Amino acid sequence: MIYNIVGLIMNFLVSLIGYLCSIPARAKGMKFGKKSYIGWGYDFLFSSMKGVIIDDDVLIGRDAWIQTINNNDTNRDGPIISIGKSSRIGRSVTISCKKKITIGEKCLISYNVSILDHDHYCYELRSPVESGLTDGEEIIIRDDCFIGAHSFILKGVQLGKHCVVGANCVVTKSFPDYSLIAGNPAKLVKNIKCQTSEQFS
């Protein structure tokens, strides 16, 4: 009985702290589903979060940098970041969006991962501070994907469902369902579904 009461109190406190942490993000335009939380330390002073949509039961670790950038006319509807139900995102993640970034349901993204749908425009003989950013190219990470620590998912990439991205990967191109990829730039190591089928055949 006592343990049940303590558990209820702890759950209430965790929910309360989670909600309080989310207040600045909500004020900046981020929309949260039920039982979804973001850890403390995220950047809200200098980042726009309008267009960030978090579904139910999503947890985002502390020190996140999640931003939408809308400084041109190429995306009239505004940039959108969408994170699906029951996904887990580790601490110190960077998600920066000019067009659209979609993360599916039940994805697990490790710590210090960067997901960027644009680049700095560095192709002219002037300062990159002045030259700005390239146009966004949509990123799609489908359901049940795992992204290892310190990885980069770059513009235009689409990952099929249940892809596994090894730690320290730089993903510059798209991969189909059940791909295990690794390296810099990331390359296909094997198809997980085929490997599993062989083990149990």
Instruction: Label residue 200 by pLDDT band (50, 70, 90).
Output: very low
Separation CA 51–CA 54 (nearest Å): 10
Separation CA 28–CA 51 (nearest Å): 10
The pairing of strands 186-191 and 179-183 is antiparallel
Q: Please name the residues in contact with 129: beta carbons below 8 A apart, sequence gap of 6 or more.
A: none
Residue range of the domain that includes 169? 2-199
Instruction: Label residue 185 by pLDDT band (50, 70, 90).
Output: very high
Mean pLDDT of the chain: 89
Residue with tokens 């191109």: 173
Q: Give me the number of domains the chain comprises.
A: 1
Separation CA 71–CA 118 (nearest Å): 13
CATH code, domain with 89: 2.160.10.10
Judged on CB neighbours under 10 Å (0-12, 13-18, 19+), 139 is buried
State if pTM tops 0.85.
yes
pLDDT of residue 109: 98
What are 115-156's pLDDT values in tens digits? 999 998 777 777 777 778 888 999 999 999 999 999 999 999
Separation CA 109–CA 112 (nearest Å): 9
Query: By the 8 A CB rule, do 54 and 36 touch?
Result: yes
The pairing of strands 179-183 and 52-54 is unpaired
What are 5-56's pLDDT values in tens digits? 766 777 777 777 888 888 999 999 999 999 999 999 998 888 889 999 999 9
Task: Respond yes or no on whether the N-terminal peptide bond of residue 24 is cis (omega within 30° of 0).
Answer: no
- Residue 164 forms beta bridges with which residues? 146, 180
Judged on CB neighbours under 10 Å (0-12, 13-18, 19+), 50 is middle
Query: By the 8 A CB rule, do 186 and 169 touch?
Result: yes
Neighbour order of strands in the sheet with 186-191: 37-38, 59-60, 88-89, 108-109, 146-147, 164-165, 179-183, 186-191
